[in-house]
Amino acid sequence: MKKNILHTELCDMFGIEYPIVASGMGFVSGPALAAAVSNAGGLGVIGAASLTPDELREMIKRAKDLTDKPFGVDAPIPPQLDDVPPDATEETLRELIPAEAWDFANKFGEEFGIPKARGKAGLQALSIDITREWFQIALEEKIPVFVSAVGNPDWMIADAHAQGMKIMACVGLVRQARRLAAEGVDVIIAQGTEAGGHTGRVGTMPLLPQVVDAVSPTPVLAAGGIYDGRGLVASLAMGAVGVWLGTAFVTTRESCLETIELGYMSQWEVDVWKQAILNATEDDTIISRVLTGKTLRMLKNRFQENWVKKGGPELKTPKQNVLVSDLLEGVREAKMEGFTLPVGGQISGMIKEEKPAAQLVEEIVEQATHVLEKMGLGK
């Protein structure tokens, strides 16, 4: 049998074939996507951010029905704001949002003809209690890896390690990587500013080798701006043990399926989102706080552009999510295409077709192997 030249420490850690991880994106990464990636030899991850604890349990069960390979769970850890109780609900948060902010949102809706609607912010980052529940479920379900998207996972490390679960955490700066590695995080994800979703200011190319050096021997995954085998080889060359891909998997056939089924997004909205990524050039994204209050890379759109132009509020997470949720529901109901907030990274410019997730994994593997062989490193 031909030697798998892409085999790394990450493959040994999880018993997977290729060092390709599909990130656990909220609203995007359900059991169909996670299982497809794991079945193709990579590591799939379910994004818990949009799910209630019961829904997460059900999604894990479904993934187990679809694959006997390992897969992970990913969830954000919300910041603790002084005025937000740890068990805050969407209702509590609505009351905490200042009247001027609601006023602005109402006027914004009226000016752009967005119908009045009642939105669901989704559970993402609403309260630390929910993150604790998600983590507990992952433990009970014997999930081999839990990923902390944003926030500090120090409180989960001892319990995870006690049952052999690994913790991965995402960073955008060397000092964050050092702190998390010292706390016992098993795999650091170094995510450059190119990435879709919450992101920092440093590019993947300078960030990755600096993080690798800073936390060695802790393994590091490369994230931000990777779509193909060249990106995988470059990441390995810079010392990563694999890649963590987000935007690349948004346009796979299996993405968002359960989100539509659960009613968090409509088919129309998902179609518009995917098409926006397929149509985008490398310069069609922007970093904005409009959706979550944190810097988040999305494709340029009229909602964000006008919100900023008019000096719209940028409240702290999770208040901003709740503030814009009614408007986004109105946009969805009225099918206002230019007003959706399609999250995606700079690599969108390279993505030209929707494909099955397994095909994407296979193509990355094939191209990476070919590149290495061409360099004389494949034998």
Q: Where are the beta strands (DSSP E) in the chain?
A: 20-22, 44-47, 71-75, 145-148, 166-171, 187-191, 197-198, 220-223, 242-245, 285-288, 296-299
DSSP 185-219: -SEEEEE-TTSSEE--SS-HHHHHHHHHHHHTTS-
- Say how many residues touch ligand FMN, by CB under 6 A: 31
Cα torsion 86, 151, 226, 228 to 10°: value is -60
21 makes contact with ligand FMN (CB under 6 A): no
x/- string (CB under 6 A) for ligand FMN, residues 232-271? ------------xxxxx-x---------------------
191 makes contact with ligand FMN (CB under 6 A): yes
23 makes contact with ligand FMN (CB under 6 A): yes
Q: Which stretch binds ligand FMN (CB under 6 A): 137-145, 155-163, 193-201, 320-328?
A: 193-201
C-beta separation of 372 from 232 below 8 A: no
Q: Which stretch binds ligand FMN (CB under 6 A): 52-60, 78-86, 138-146, 343-351?
A: 343-351
As a whole number of angstroms, the longest Cα–Cα distance in the chain is: 67
215 makes contact with ligand FMN (CB under 6 A): no
Q: Which residue is nearest to ligand FMN (CB)?
A: 246
44 makes contact with ligand FMN (CB under 6 A): no
DSSP 7-29: --HHHHHHT-SSSEEE---TTT-
Kindly list the strands in the beta sheet with 296-299, ordered across the sheet, starting from the edge strand earlier in the chain.
197-198, 296-299, 285-288
Closest contact distance (angstroms) between CB of 244 and ligand FMN is: 6
x/- string (CB under 6 A) for ligand FMN, residues 293-332? ----------------------------------------
Q: Which residue has the tokens 């920092």?
A: 200
The nearer residue to ligand FMN, 224 or 330, going by C-beta atoms, is: 224
C-beta separation of 44 from 33 below 8 A: yes
x/- string (CB under 6 A) for ligand FMN, residues 45-84? --x-x------------------------x-x--------
Q: Choose, by CB under 6 A, the member of 13, 20, 24, 322 that binds ligand FMN.
A: 24
Which residue in 295, 274, 266, 270 sits closest to 348, CA to CA? 274
Q: Which residue has the tokens 């969407």?
A: 90
Per the DSSP assignment, residues forming a β-bridge with 190 are: 171, 222
Contact residues toward ligand FMN (CB under 6 A) are 23-26, 28, 47, 49, 74, 76, 147, 149, 170, 191, 194-197, 223-226, 244-248, 250, 343-345, 347
